[in-house]
Amino acid sequence: MHIAVLSGKGGTGKTFVSVNLAAVAPKAFYIDCDVEEPNGYLFFKPENIIEEKITVKLPVVDSELCTGCRKCVDFCAFNALAYIGGKVKIFDEVCHSCGGCKLVCPEKAIAEKDSVIGSVERGQSENVNVNTGILNAGEASGIPIIKNLLQNIKNTENQLNIVDCPPGSACIVMESIKDADYCILVAEPTIFGLHNLKMVYELVRLFSKPCGVVLNKCSKAENPTEEFCIKENIEILCKIPFTKMLGIENSNAHIIVRKNAKYNELFTSLLDKVCKEVQHEAVTGT
Amino acid sequence: MKQLLVLSGKGGTGKTTFVSAFIKLAAAGAYADCDVDAPNLHLLMGQGPHPEETDYYGMPKALIDSKLCIGCNKCRAFCRFDAIVAQDGYKVDGFACEGCGVCVAVCPVGAVKMQPAVAGKLKLYRDSQKIFSTAQLKMGSGTSGKLVTEVKKAMNKKAQRVDLAILDGSPGIGCPVIASLSGVDFVLIVAEPTISGISDMKRIIQTAKIMQIPLAVAINKYDTNLEKSEEIETFCHEETLPFVGTVPFDNMAVQAINSGNTIVDIDCSSGRAVQKVYENLIKIL
């Protein structure tokens, strides 16, 4: 089963929740889809890492064959090609690798080359198989890396997959939750956190995904996020307190469930709850 | 007009908190929220009259005419984005479609057309003192980089006589961040003293360097992990990056934000510290 952890706003504790959920399970796959800023591996420090380079296809023009008809330039919806000084110039950064230019060239003057945009690293940390997507700096889109990550993970009933999503609510988040059986929304008690929670809540509803909220960084002060959940009848899965100890452990990238019995219990019961929800969904089919 | 952009790599380090304070301190005449995926600056700075709203059209989306479709599967075979679904005939998954038009080109019977699609909303707040440009990307949409460019354009068009414009960025290092970096004069990185925060800070610095934009670093919540804060300062020193100060963790900051204020609107330790950061920054800008 795929459990996606998302938040809209950055820094609410997606990685904290995902890492500890995976660590508390008897056996789990942790998949870090926040390929622009992956952090889970910093906690897990996986061993026996196998790296796979992720490539996209970029066009190359054979100027001997090119007759300057500009069909490719006219076709490209992303303005990634231009005809300058009697030659086709390609702007790799804006190319979406759709293959259209190669397709429309009547002279077969366009071929494609593989270009590396990042990598996927797979390794083991105790009971957790750690899968990390890493986008190279300067590259625009990590979606091909997320696709690779998720395509190589089996979605069976007996396998637990925890998907750590990127922030926001754009295409890259959607790609990460597409196959999810359940979405955990991590929210913090600020008006920023609330505003962004509303957005991801809308997103998961758009995809008809069952979901629940983890309220992170809770203190004695007012919690606008909690009020919203109660009003909208969104299930609150658990509340995690804001404590200095947790802050320090987390900032040093320690996995709290591996060293603290209280938090081990908290995350075990969170995982139980979510697994039961998924099984319930599977039975009722709603 | 000089443009200052605030970025962080990691989310939740305090970009919007810093930006809103800077806007107040500078009495900035122009500012923008480039975090179109999850905008928040308007929650603090969007007071006053209702904004002017314009639909933002992203890339067009393909549409298959089921009456003309002969089910040859060519569109599905050629689509690199898995955007054609074969289920009760052939349909386009509007979220996956990137608008390249390959399906239109390969369809032998002309059953596929490209249709314009609204992918978000641009919002412009304007009065005699300020221009504030922001936007909201539609759920699950792509092309957020293009929308960021539109947000900046909308601000620039109306703010020619302004000395300093302040821009709030988005987390990450990908397409919206690259779009926000393009054409700005200076970047402030708000770092956080955590192992994750440091890793993300290094990646955003690398990205800004590729784009050859000068930058400085400040640390937020520096006292939550003094050891990691020192590590950041040392890193800046080694890399000869200007370091413009630290801001402490402050419960009052959350209270200020939750009541719709900036941290310099009330008297608090984080507000005083951010003012020093601002003064240091202005000196090198």
Task: Give domain status of residue A239, yes or no.
Answer: yes
Task: Give domain status of residue A113, yes or no.
Answer: no
Q: What are phi and psi of A218, to 5 degrees?
A: -75, 140
Task: Give domain status of residue A68, yes or no.
Answer: yes
Q: What is the pLDDT of residue A154?
A: 87
- The 10s digit of each residue's pLDDT in B232-246 is 999 999 999 999 999
Query: Which A positions 39-98 lie with beta carbon below 8 A of chain B?
Result: 39, 42, 75, 77-78, 96-98
How many residues appear in chain A? 286
- The 10s digit of each residue's pLDDT in B20-45 is 999 999 999 999 999 999 999 999 99
Verify that A104 and A134 share a domain, yes or no: no
Verify that A126 and A67 share a domain, yes or no: no
The rounded distance, in Å, linking the Cα atoms of B249 and A253 is 19
Q: What is the pLDDT of residue A52?
A: 98
Verify that A42 and A67 share a domain, yes or no: no
The rounded distance, in Å, linking the Cα atoms of A92 and A57 is 10
Verify that A178 and A39 share a domain, yes or no: yes
Task: Give domain status of residue A114, yes or no.
Answer: no
Task: Give domain status of residue A172, yes or no.
Answer: yes
Verify that A67 and A44 share a domain, yes or no: no
- Which residues in chain B have their CB less than 8 angstroms from residue A96's CB? 98, 100
Q: What is the pLDDT of residue B46?
A: 84
Nearest residue of A to residue B80 by CA position?
Answer: A98
Q: What is the pLDDT of residue A285?
A: 61
Q: What is the pLDDT of residue B160?
A: 77
Q: Does pLDDT of B177 surpass 60?
A: yes
Verify that A44 and A67 share a domain, yes or no: no
Verify that A37 and A124 share a domain, yes or no: yes
Q: What is the pLDDT of residue B139?
A: 84
- Which residues in chain B have their CB less than 8 angstroms from residue A173's CB? 37, 140
**How far B227 CA lies from chain A's nearest CA (Å)?**
10
The rounded distance, in Å, linking the Cα atoms of A99 and B97 is 14
Verify that A169 and A227 share a domain, yes or no: yes
First to last CA, chain A: 16
Q: Does pLDDT of B1 surpass 90?
A: no
Beta-carbon separation of B196 and A253 below 8 A:
yes
% of chain B at pLDDT higher than 90: 89
Structural domain of A217: 2-54+119-284
Q: Domains for chain B: give ranges and CATH numbers.
A: 2-57+123-284 (3.40.50.300), 61-116 (3.30.70.20)
Verify that A147 and A20 share a domain, yes or no: yes
Verify that A242 and A165 share a domain, yes or no: yes
Task: Give domain status of residue A12, yes or no.
Answer: yes
Q: What is the pLDDT of residue A282?
A: 80
- The 10s digit of each residue's pLDDT in A51-60 is 999 999 999 9
For chain A, residues with pLDDT lower than 70 are 285-286
Verify that A139 and A196 share a domain, yes or no: yes
Long-range residue pairs from A176-180, CB within 8 A, at least 24 positions apart, any chain? A176/A4, A176/A6, A176/A33, A176/A146, A176/A150, A177/A4, A177/A6, A177/A203, A177/A204, A177/A207, A177/A209, A178/A150, A178/A207, A179/A2, A179/A150, A179/A155, A180/A2, A180/A3, A180/A4, A180/A209
The rounded distance, in Å, linking the Cα atoms of A231 and A225 is 10
Verify that A128 and A87 share a domain, yes or no: no
Q: What is the pLDDT of residue A93?
A: 84
Residue A72's CATH number: 3.30.70.20
Residue A143's CATH number: 3.40.50.300
Task: Give domain status of residue A226, yes or no.
Answer: yes
- Counted domains in chain A: 2
Task: Give domain status of residue A136, yes or no.
Answer: yes
